[in-house]
Structure formats: C-alpha cells, structure tokens
Amino acid sequence: MRRLSPGQPGPGRPWRRLLAGGLALFCMWAGPVWADGQGAASAPPSPAALAATETTPAEEALWRIQSVEFLGLEHITRQQALEVMETRPAVLLSLARGPELDTSRLERDCARLQKLYQEFGFFEARISFHLDRDQETRQARVTFSVAEGRPTLISQVNLLVPEGPENAYWREQVKAVLSLAEGQRFDLEAYEQSKKAIVRLMNNQARPQHKLVGQVRVYQAEQRAEAIFKLDPGPRLLFGPSRVNGQERMAPAFILHELTYARGQPFSQDVLEQSQRALLDTGFFASVSIVPDFDNIEGQQVPMIVQVSESKHHTIRLGVGWGNEDQLRFRITQVNRNMLGLNDTLTFEGKISYIYYGLTGRLKLPYIVNRDTNLLLSGGVEQKDNQAFINRRYFISPVLEYRLGGKWISYLGYNSESDRMRELKAQVPNPSQEKKAHYISSVPLGLRYDSRDSILDPKRGLYLTLEMETASQALGSDLAFTRPMAEARHVMPLPLLKDWYLASRAKVGAVMNLAGIDRTPMVRRFFLGGADSVRGYPYQKLGPLDTAGKPLGGEGMVEGSLETRFPLWGDLGGVIFLDMGNVYESLNSDVGKLRFTTGAGLRYNTPVGPIRLDFGYQLNPPAGDDLDRYEVYLSVGQAF
C-alpha cells in the first residue's frame, strides 16, 4: 500500500478532482498547439495508424492473434521479417492460445520492417497492416502489406589511402576482399562485412595498428549510395616474446610450446587463432586469449600476452539418450588432467544401453618424440548385441599419432583383442568356427583429415579417413586378413540460401583373407542399414540375410549419402536425403547392384546437438524381401 505524506492530499478530497479535470482540459487544448509549434507533419495518418485506431486497448485484450502473413515480400524472407518484429504468430500445433493482439506493437513492427528494408537498400519501402477479425473465435489474422519501392544502388566505392610507394598495393589488396561493388544494390550487411574483411586483411598483413574509418552516403532522391573507406595501414609489426598468465598446474613451457607462431615472425590474426585453438584442443584450458601488448613494442616486435584459465583437473560428465537401435542409453565419463605431471589426459568411460555395455579407458601423452607426436593408449571390455551375434571384446591398443601439418594426422598402432561369441543368431555356413574365441593381433595404419567446424552438427568442412588394418599369424593372431577402409564426408553452405547446407558422404571397405581362411568371421564383416547408414533399412539388415531374416554381413561394402539441410522455424530444421549402398557377402562373388533409399526428417537444435527424426523409404528393395519398405529413426546428432 502506498503511504501518503502529511501534506499530500488524499484521493477523496474534492479539490483534487477539480484540479485533475482542469489539467485534462488544458492538455486537450495545449497538446495540438505544442505539436504544431514543434513542426509536426500535417499529413493524414498512415494506413497503419488508421488500423491502430480500430480498437481500444480494453477491446484489444479480448482478441488473440491467429496468424501473421506478409504480402509483397520479394527481397527479404518471412523469417528475416519475423526476426525483427515484436509480434509473434501463434505456434503451430500448440494447445496454448495465440498471443494477445496489440495494435501499438503492430505499429512499431511497421517501423521495424521499414528500417530492415533500408538495411537492404530500399529507402522508399512503405509498410502497413490489416486486421481480419473473426467475431466468434475472437481471433485476428494480421496481414502486413509491403511496397518495396525502388532499390538504392552503389554508385561509387572509394578507398582513401595515404600517398606512398604502397598505395597501389593496398588498393589492390583491399579491393579483392570487398563485398561491395559499383552497380549492386546497397546492403548494410555487405558493407559491415567489407569493413571486417579489411580489418582481417590488415591484421594478417602484419598491420594490427591500422586505422579504418568507413562511411556510407545515401542520396535518396537519386537512388544511389557511395561507400567510403579511409585506411591508414600503420607500421609493420612482428611477433615478440610471449608471456603466460593465469596458469596453475600447467607449466608455462607447455603452453608456449603449443603456440603456432615464433618470435620474429610477421604478425598474423590467423596464426593467433590457430594458437588459441591448439591450446583449447589440449583439453587443459577452459578459456584462452592471446592479445598483443601495444604499450611495450620494441622496434618492430610486439610482446604477446597469453591469458589462460585452466579446466578443472578432475571432471565427471553424465549423459542420457535414446535411439531406435540402442533405445535408452546411459553414459558416464570421468576425466583426469595432468594427473601424472606429464601433460597427460586419462579418461574413463562407462556406457550401457539395450544393445551395448562397456568400460573403456584412454591415456593421452603428448610430445613423445616432438611437438607433433602423441601417444594414445586405449583399452577395456565391451559387449555388443548385433542383429547376427552377441560378442564380448577385450582389447588394448597403443597408437602413435603424428601431425603432418594443417588438419592432417597420420597414425600407426597395434591392436590386441580377444573376441568371444556369446550368442550366434545367424545361420552361417560354419557355426562351430564362429563360436570359437578369436585372438586378433593387428597393425592399423591410417591418415585422417578434419576441417569440420563441429562434430555433432557441422555447417562446413571436410572429413577424410583412410585406414589399413593388417592381422598376421606372425604377430600371434588367430586370423590373418587385410582390411582397407576409406570414408569422406563434406558439408557446405548453399549459395543464395541462408542456413541451407548440402552434406555428402562416401564410404567403401573390404576384407581380404590371408593364410587360406575361406570365410571372414562375423567380428570383422561389414553390416549396413539403420539410423546412420542407408536409412530405410532396419539396423544392420541391408545385404545378405539368412532364412530367418538375420544378416550375414559381407566382405565388401559401399555406402553413400546426399542430404540437404534447411531451416523451418526457430531451432527446428528439416532435411531431405538420398542414401545408397550395399553389402557383398564375398569379394569373389559378383558385386550386386546398389540399393537406394530416400526420405525426409526433422532436426531440433539443442546445446548437445540436434535431435533427429528421420523417415526412410526403400526405392529398389531386393526381390522377395519381407522387410517393410520404410523405417522411422529417432536419435541425437546428424546422420553424418
């Protein structure tokens, strides 16, 4: 309750009501005179303003928005328009009522849309709205009408650089990175991108102390605009000594060793970002920043300050998920950082689901030979319930990694594993041989390239892996084979379509038996079909099947996918895909034709990756196959 001061009149005093009435009459008379005195326009109200007078605020509270539509959108999308508006349409398939109608908010949205159009070079754009009311449901359909008008074109792009011997060089370099060109429609985003591109160019050309001023002059009556960039390159600088701040248990020498630049090297923003990524990729740091100390430049060398914040030395992560194949799954991961004082990372992981359980560990030791060499030691026990068999595997595998430069990594390892068949489900030619415990001693040799910007939901980049696993009786192995595999994945944004991406994948593999083995055991055969391979076929059931419909696997396989990913609404996206592939029982037999599937799906973006719902349909199933021609999959992460 509001407390009144002793000298404050109470609400029931008559003279206060008289004073309030007099003030109201004065405002009704003085308001228009004040507005005219301020030079207010005397033009008739806009259509949007007329629409805003159709209801009073009390009446608006009784109305809800049923839908929001647009007429006349040509150069901006519906999604771009909604992103700048306060008004929100009713959520599709929602049980909740639509948002309340507020015509003052619609009026503000007209102004917001007009500003948006100006950013796209349409300074003559006019926006109005119309309400179509349903008296029975008390809902209104809102329609925004757009008259875009003529576009404003760029008539001139000027670059002002101080006179000197490098004048022509900088003009050529800057011109190559500009997103603006004479004759094209003015676009504010392109102008801002041009400024950012110039800044990055100068930082990568050892000129971090450059000065850039940008300006746009719009001549609305002439429908043209001029873009002006005034650039002072500044002095050429080199990397100086680096100083580390914020470390706790990690040695400064280790941090400095991870830097990808050397003292005396020309300054480069790209190299700084590479160093930052290299430190974050070690897993020892929660944050890393590398900044130049311009206050202490000596000669041409600028000192660098490496500010780090270490990750927790011991962490535990819990995860819960669900998928069609493994159904409910649980995962616990425990990470120990620099526990041995060797810049090591020791990770334990336990996982259990309907078709898998296992406990594994991995020790990573960097700098075994030099900065580019890491030793990975993995081991554990795991059991997997495949469609054709249940196998328990005990393994230990040391691998030596060597960074070749850029995104390339080569590796050489040794794999020692014992496979014990717990249950054989498929009707194979030699069941007694399959049920034996197999000891495999093999050497994997591989090459890997990865430029993806994300593992769970990449937007661009290439992933390539080549591997050859060789098992030999000379190494003590019960089985002798060579198993080459190759896989390529690529994601790229589609031009002219915002947030549209084209993803592709190709994968091939084969097993070649050595030392007179007639048939490759199930533990090393290939299986395809499921949520992550040739969607439309059940899990592992593409290829040869026995009389009971159990997969027999194959000694060769081919797999490929082409997928278009696009936005739908907010965090909801969609995909359409074409998958292909097949499994071939023997390399000596004729390689059959490929099986094709197609389908569509939904993606809902979350912090841990997109939730995925896919529907796949078989285009050319094998003759006499009793399997359904379609499958539905629910999982987390992109299919590839």
**Average pLDDT in the 51-57 region?**
45
User: Does 395 score more than 90 pLDDT?
Assistant: yes
- Four-residue CA torsion sign, 175, 176, 177, 183: positive
DSSP 153: E
- CATH 2.120.10.30 for the 387-636 domain, yes or no: no
Q: What is the pTM of this model?
A: 0.72
Percent of the chain with pLDDT over 70: 88
What's the rounded Cα separation, in Å, for the pair 546 and 131?
Answer: 65
Averaged pLDDT, 231-256: 94
**57-66, 223-232, 433-442, 558-567: least confidently modelled range:** 57-66
Taking the C-alpha atoms of residue 239 and residue 301, their distance in angstroms, rounded to an integer, is 5
Predicted confidence (pLDDT) at residue 24 exceeds the cutoff of 70: no
Which of 96, 110, 121 is closest to 46 using CA atoms?
110
Range of weakest confidence among 139-148, 384-393, 582-591, 598-607: 582-591
Q: Are strands 327-337 and 611-618 parallel, antiparallel or unpaired?
A: unpaired
| C-alpha dihedral, 105 to 107 to 111 to 117, nearest 10° | 100
In this structure, what token pair is assigned to residue 524?
A: 């090393």
CATH topology of domain 153-232: Ubiquitin-like (UB roll) (3.10.20)
CA atoms of 211 and 234, how far apart (whole Å): 7
When pLDDT is cut at 50, 70 and 90, the band that residue 61 belongs to is low
Q: Would the pLDDT of 8 be above 70?
A: no
Domains 47-147 and 387-636 share a fold: no
92, pLDDT greater than 60: no
Residue 81 DSSP SS3? helix
Average pLDDT of the chain to the nearest whole number: 87
For 586-619, the pLDDT digits (tens) are 877 666 689 999 999 999 988 878 899 999 999 9
Domain layout of the chain by residue ranges? 47-147, 153-232, 238-310, 312-366, 387-636
* pLDDT beyond 70 at 466: yes
Contact assessment for residue 203 and residue 236, using Cβ atoms and an 8 Å cutoff? no
At 98 the pLDDT is: 77
CATH number 1.10.150.20 is the correct assignment for the domain at 238-310: no
Cβ burial, residue 233 (10 Å; 0-12/13-18/19+)? buried
In angstroms, the CA 543 to CA 537 distance is: 10
Q: Compute the distance between CA of residue 376 and CA of residue 580 in angstroms, rounded to an integer.
A: 35
Q: Residue 126's closest CA among 113, 139, 141?
A: 113
Q: What is the pLDDT of residues 521-570, one digit of tens each?
A: 899 999 999 999 999 999 999 999 998 999 999 999 999 999 999 999 88
pLDDT tens string 478-528: 999 999 999 999 999 998 888 899 999 999 999 998 876 778 889 999 999
Q: Report the CATH number of the 47-147 domain.
A: 3.10.20.310
